[in-house]
A and B are shown apart, each in its own frame.
Chain A
Amino acid sequence: MEGNFAGKENRSEMIEKVIRTHADMIYRIAYQNTGNYDDAEDILQEVSIALITKNAPLHDEEYLKRWLVRVTVNKCRDMHRHRKRLKTEPLEEHTDKAAETKSEIWEELFSLPEKYRIVLYLYYYENFTIKDIALTLKKSVNTVSSDLQRARKKLKILITEEEDRDENKQTDKSDGSRKGTA
């Protein structure tokens, strides 16, 4: 886990540090959930405020990260729910920012249901264990496992290709070292 927030820093510094440390994570979760950069920014702000208003566990780093993930996911749900009632047209497609990063991979990712996306993200990017994910999202371990499995199947190409290559490299290395020692 990043950073130790339980030091002697004053409260403002601590809050700022927490936000800056986890901003990317919150933003990514929000983006992969909403598919919209502006919404992701809004959610980042909402979550930051929630840190204060909801008495976030600032001193418990491990719990804090899970807390942030959960709050972010719930904020996204709030937003979806809100949007259902009011049709709006996102303007994002017209921005350069969207064009830069909205790759085919993201398009494929967005074709998955949200529950798969968050599991994929936490597992592959944040290195959460399945148990951690289950704890964070308040789901059973079995549910998370099956979600992950289904998500993997659908995105098999994306998540295996370079991973395999990476593993192959490691295998080559270890083979080489074994040969060396032999």
Chain B
Amino acid sequence: MKINKLTKAMEAVKAPHDAVDKAVKAALEADKRRKQPKLITGQKIRRFVSVAAACAVLAAGITAGQVYHQNKNSDITGNNADTGSNSHSFSLLVNAAEITEDEKIGLSEIDFTGVNSLGMNAYSSKQKLTNETIETVTPEGEIWNRPVHVFRMQYRLYPVVEIPIVCKGNGIKSVTYKVNGAYLKANRKLKLLSEGTEEGPHEVDYYDLVDLYTEKNRDTKYDPNESLEALMNGLTDYSYDYDHDEWEKEWKLREAIRDPDDKRTLEEKLKERYYYTYKSMTVSYEEQLKCVEVDEKDLVPYGRKTYDPAQEKEIRGSVAAIALLPSFSPELAKDELTKEAQEYMEGIPSGGSYGKFIEGKEHTDYWEALFNAYRSQIENVSLEVTVHFDDGTDEGYILELIPGERKNYSYYDRYDNRIKVQTIMIDVVVRKKNDQ
């Protein structure tokens, strides 16, 4: 080691003993969990039970509609939802939606830190949607004559809309996730000014319109504080898989976009992004922890941490539609924002966080513009989930996103700072593919 002031300063920094002990303990526990994936205790059991109960009801509910439609058979067997086929059983759990025969739709009482690994999608822990509400959000009437289910979720005005999905049952070979109706509006201004960092307030993020991923880390630690933050912050900012070069590619892309000498169009630049081109992905149970093929490209599925243990024969996936936002840069947004909104943007020193408020002022126009941008992006997106069974049969479901009203929401972070956010309600209509 070369001796100089620098290395001396570095030498002075040492991992505290208790931190090392904790790290060792965490690693050994992770190793133990890995060997015994079913071993869950204490709080996890309670959480898991509540999650499982919610999921079971949903599974029964979705299957109920399905059976009702297909076989006119209302024999629902609770947790083990059976489609009527002898060769396989199957349930599709879509987030926290609860659909039962008696009470057609609603949201289950969820464990906020448990089942919803992406937050902002819990409308309210016990609130039920009424039939009246359903009628207002479905595109056509008479929805109960076909297996259509609707549930409502709440998202932060944030360029990620994610629908966590769990496919579960026997005889499942693989699941294909696909996004329909999503497109890249390359002629739109794609810049989104971030909240600003220590390195510089004007860092710009770019987002794909569509992104898909599966969860890879199935047995990571559970930390309520971290998970709460993760809940509030969407999927793209948390726990990337480091086994691939995504980060490098992303940074290269950002540099290319900001490089004044690079004369390519923005669309051309964006096409270089690692996972830009694909719109569908098939994941099998065995492959969940391996690489999967996506449109002939090798892709290591990336994801965030999971907070509850994955169960046997369960294929998890999340379909994420990432809405591109129009620019809210003062220079670029002149044709999209009103004068008041532009002034508001210019008045934000960090360069345009949509999570900030200027004290004592209401900036309705700004929020309205952002909200409308979301609406226009989301209303074109639908998600398709196809379950492939070992016996060669398939079952497909369409999840249609319908943007709803705007709402305020606030929460406290770990330092007790009150964070105010604007959210959008999104209704998800689930229907069987063949019944469209």
Contact = CB atoms under 8 A, between A and B. Distances in A.
A85 B415 contact: no
A148 interface: no
Contact of B4 (A47, A91, A103, A163): A163
Contact of B14 (A24, A70, A124, A155): A24
Contacts of A120: 6
A45 interface: yes
B238 A78 contact: yes
B1 A124 contact: yes
A56 to B, nearest CB: 10
B23 A48 contact: yes
Contacts of B3: 162-163, 166
Contacts of A124: 1-2, 4, 6-7, 10
Contact of B413 (A54, A86, A160): A86
Given A20-B20, A27-B14, A53 B34 contact: yes
Given A81-B237, A124-B4, A11 B9 contact: no
Contacts of A47: 23
Given A24-B14, A45-B22, A82 B233 contact: yes
A78 B303 CA distance: 12
A106 interface: yes
Interface stretch (B81-89, B171-179, B241-249, B277-285): B241-249
Given A27-B14, A31-B13, A52 B242 contact: no
Nearest to A44: B23
* Chain B interface, >50% SS class: loop
Contact of B27 (A49, A85, A109): A49
B31 interface: yes
A19 B1 contact: no
A15 to B, nearest CB: 5
B125 interface: no
Interface in B244-265: 245, 247-248
A135 interface: no
A113 B239 CA distance: 22
A16 interface: yes
A23 B15 contact: yes
Given A48-B27, A91-B415, A159 B6 contact: yes
Contacts of A48: 23-24, 26-27
B16 interface: yes
Contacts of B243: 54
Interface residues of B, number: 58
B4 A159 contact: yes
Contacts of B415: 88-89, 91
Contacts of A77: 240, 247
B221 interface: yes
B10 A121 contact: yes
B1 A161 contact: no
B26 A70 contact: no
Interface string B1-41: 11111111111111110011011101110110010000000
B233 A86 contact: yes
A169 B232 CA distance: 57
B408 to A, nearest CB: 18
B211 interface: no
Given A20-B24, A26-B15, A127-B1, A88 B413 contact: yes
Interface stretch (B134-142, B194-202, B322-330, B428-436): B194-202
Given A101-B13, A109-B6, A120-B6, A74 B27 contact: no
B100 interface: no
B361 interface: no
B219 interface: yes
A136 interface: no
A74 B250 CA distance: 13
Contact of B1 (A86, A106, A125): A125
Given A23-B23, A44-B19, A86-B232, A49 B13 contact: no
A2 B24 CA distance: 18
B365 interface: no
A120 B7 CA distance: 9
Interface in A1-35: 11-12, 15-16, 19-20, 23-24, 26-28, 31-32
The 6 closest A-B pairs by CB, nearest first: A27-B15, A74-B242, A48-B23, A48-B27, A105-B9, A23-B15
28 contacts: A15-B24, A16-B27, A23-B15, A23-B19, A24-B15, A26-B15, A32-B10, A44-B19, A45-B19, A45-B22, A45-B26, A48-B23, A54-B243, A74-B247, A75-B242, A84-B237, A85-B195, A85-B237, A86-B229, A86-B232, A87-B417, A88-B414, A89-B415, A109-B9, A124-B2, A124-B4, A125-B11, A127-B1
